[in-house]
Amino acid sequence: MDARRIRRLSHSVAALVLGFSALAHAQDEAGDPARLIEALSLTRGMSIAEIGAGDGSLTIALARHVGAEGQLLTTELGEERVKALRTAVERAKLPQIRVLPAAIDGTNLDAACCDVVVMRDVYHHFADPAVMNASLLDSLRPGGRLAILDFAPRDGKARAPSERADGDQHGVAREVLVSELTAAGFTKVSVRSISGRRFMVIAERPAGSM
C-alpha cells in the first residue's frame, strides 16, 4: 500500500471516529433535561434561564417541566442564532419561554431574576470567565443555583480561557471551572461525572448575598 493510500485510510478512520464520538455526545445530551431536573430538584413554577441555548431543545424541555406558571428565559449570541431560537420557541407554543439576545460580557438578565441558571457546552467559550461568573451570580436569587454541563479537553490539561476552544484543548478542565466559580463567590460547588469527558458542575449563590 503506497503512502497516499495510507494517508487516505488514516483520514477516513479519523473521520469515522469523530463521527461516532459526535453521535455518542448527541445521544448522551438527550438525557440532560432529566439529569438537570433530578440534580436541581426542578419543580413547576420555577424561574430558569439557559445561557447559549443553541437549537432550544434543552430550553423547551425545561419549560415544559416548569409549566405555564413557570418562566424560562433563554439566550443566544448573534442575530441569526437568536432568530433561529425564536423560531424553535414559537413552534413549541410555550408562552412561558422568553428569548433574549446574549452578550459576551454578561448574561443580559435582570438581577436576581432566576431560581436556576443552566448552560450546556458554553462555559469553555467564555473569553473572560471572571466577568461572566460575576454576572451569573448577580442573575440568581440568593440561594439560587447554577448548573454547567461541559466537557474536559482530550488531553485533560488546564488552560487559559483563550485556549479552550480548539483541537485537543477544546473544553475546560473541571478543577479549573470549580476554581473560577469559587473565586466568583459561588458556594457548595460540586462536580458530577456524566460520561466520557462530560461532567456537570452545580454551584449556589449564598443565601445571604445581595
Residues 16 and 83 in one domain: no
pLDDT tier, 7 (very low <50, low <70, confident <90, very high otherwise): low
What's the count of helices (H) and strands (E) in the chain, helices before strands?
Answer: 6, 7
The domain of 10 spans 1-29
Structurally, the chain folds into a number of domains equal to 2
Q: What is the pLDDT of residue 142?
A: 97
pLDDT digits (tens, 9 = 90+) for 48-100: 999 999 999 999 999 999 999 999 999 999 999 999 999 999 999 999 999 99
Residues 8 and 84 in one domain: no
Asked whether residue 197 carries a pLDDT value surpassing 80, the answer given is yes
Q: What is the pLDDT of residue 208?
A: 77
- For residue 97, being part of any structural domain is answered with yes
Q: What is the pLDDT of residue 155?
A: 86
Mean pLDDT of 34-51: 97
Q: Are 200 and 148 in contact (CB under 8 A)?
A: yes
Q: What is the pLDDT of residue 5?
A: 59
More confident residue, 13 or 83: 83
Residues 152 and 176 in one domain: yes
Question: What is the rounded CA–CA span in Å between residue 110 and residue 141?
Answer: 10
Long-range contacts of 187-193 (CB under 8 A, 24+ apart): 192/39
Nearest Cα neighbor of 150 from 133, 131, 175 is 175
Mean pLDDT of 158-182: 90
Residues 44 and 11 in one domain: no
Residues 93 and 174 in one domain: yes
Residues 94 and 196 in one domain: yes
Q: What is the pLDDT of residue 28?
A: 62
pLDDT digits (tens, 9 = 90+) for 100-157: 999 999 999 999 999 999 999 999 999 999 999 999 999 999 999 999 999 999 888 8
Residues 76 and 178 in one domain: yes
Neighbours of 198 (CB within 10 A): 20
Q: What is the pLDDT of residue 158?
A: 87
pTM of the predicted structure, to 2 decimals:
0.86
Stated as kind and residue range, the H or E segment containing 118 is strand 114-120
